[in-house]
Amino acid sequence: MYRVSDEQRRIRLGRRHLLAPSVRAASAVDVADAVVALHATDAATVYLSICARLADPGIGAVERALYEDVSLVRLLSMRNTLFTMSTDVAPAVDASSARPVAAKERQKFLRHLREDGNGLDERWLADTERQTLAALAARGRATGSELSAAVPALRTKITVFPGTKQETVQGVASRVIRVLAADGRLRRDLPRGSWTSSQFRWTAAEPWPASDAAEARAEVAGRWLRSYGPATEGDLKWWTGWGIRETRKALTAVGAEEVLLAGGAVGWAAPGDHATEPPPEPWAALLPGLDPSGMGWADRGFHLPADHRAALFDRAGNIGPTVWWNGGIVGGWAQRPDGELVWRLLSDIGREASLLIEAEAARLSAWTGDSRMTPRFRTPLERELTS
């Protein structure tokens, strides 16, 4: 069993996540493949994560991949979370994670319909879905409000959690659209506002062809190990949301090799991934909240000092905007209401690092221009910097 130090893991992160300047990518798809999938709960995260890793960052490159050639797609998948990935990765993620999530979403919605007590059932839902897809096909693309105006059934209201303290009345439009999107029958198109907006238009889509779930999990595990490994089975289980049995079977199927991590923890690496990688040139990065380099492991101890965590995470465990230096998180950043980018270092890293961080902040400001970015999941340090 070979050993992998924390320093070597940080070096691999800089190279394999395309954060060092010498390895930055030429395309948005290359970036997505390097990190397997990008968190997409916050619309701005996709752009910020990709452009931090592009040699020539810009909004247009990401928009073309998402909405013109559709080489990047969004799937409700790992941990019931929205991710963006390339069309090469999507079939495996769909079979390994998105299909089970879609089935649970449908069953949960049907349960709410039954509990409402007004006779709404599977047949009602199927008919409403057909009407919704027909209205969308007639328009090409539409917002949820436009679809509700065209399909009376979408204006139905139901009582959820009746008879409990959580009882409330909700419209069904967003739930019907969510189920259709989870099934892959429609997808998010251009947003109503700027690239930072989460108010999307919708357009028709075709579900991914069915494939074997176990084979798909092995493919996802192999891709994840090449991007995030060596790492523990607990890290993979957390990132995917699989059960422990599924995780172990996937590691076995892909031929993962046992390694010894710092502190004596047992980890796993992709087959043959033994080479010690030379450090790249010194590098700095300003990464957004929910960036994959901050959300790729359950145990982030190799790149996140324990005393930084309280400032950089919200109560639900979502990481906020972070400042990186040579593979470690050293601070956080934010954008003030007037557009100024500000940051605070939580580690003493010296003048060379500070100058590179300033250069990255200038690079970020240059391509974002007049845009305003407020993360959906706000953290203590981000709030403090903008107050």
Note the pLDDT of residue 41: 93
Contacts (Cβ under 8 Å, ≥6 apart) of 287 = 48, 49, 52, 293, 294, 321, 322, 324
CB 83 within 8 A of CB 39: yes
Q: What single string gives the DSSP state of each residue in 324-344?
A: EETTEEEEEEEE-TTS-EEEE
The residue written with tokens 């901050």 in the block is 294
In the beta sheet, which residues pair with residue 322?
287, 332
Note the pLDDT of residue 118: 83
pLDDT in tens, the chain (387 residues): 789 999 999 999 999 999 999 999 999 999 999 999 999 999 999 999 999 999 999 999 999 999 999 999 999 999 999 999 999 999 999 999 999 999 999 999 999 999 988 889 999 999 999 999 999 999 999 999 999 999 999 999 999 998 898 889 999 999 999 999 999 999 999 998 899 998 999 999 999 999 999 999 999 999 999 999 999 999 999 999 999 999 999 999 999 999 999 988 999 999 999 888 999 999 999 999 999 999 999 999 999 999 999 999 999 999 999 999 999 999 999 999 999 999 999 999 999 999 999 999 999 999 999 999 999 999 999 999 998
Tell me the backbone φ, ψ of residue 352, rounded to 5 degrees: -60, -45
Residue type, 190: L
Task: Evaluate if pTM is beyond 0.85.
Answer: yes
Note the pLDDT of residue 193: 85
Residue type, 174: S
SS3 261: strand
- Rounded to whole angstroms, how far apart are CA atoms 130 and 237? 36
Residue type, 54: L
Note the pLDDT of residue 78: 97
Note the pLDDT of residue 263: 87
The residue written with tokens 């057909």 in the block is 130
Starting at the edge strand that comes first in sequence, how are the strands of the sheet with 38-39 ordered?
A: 38-39, 82-86, 72-76
Q: How many CB atoms lie within 10 A of CB 148?
A: 22
Angle between helices 28-35 and 43-51 (to 10 degrees): 100
- Rounded to whole angstroms, how far apart are CA atoms 68 and 91? 20
10 Å CB burial of residue 45 (0-12, 13-18, 19+) is buried
Distances (CA, A) of 223 to 18, 22, 254, 270, 340: 15, 22, 10, 9, 37
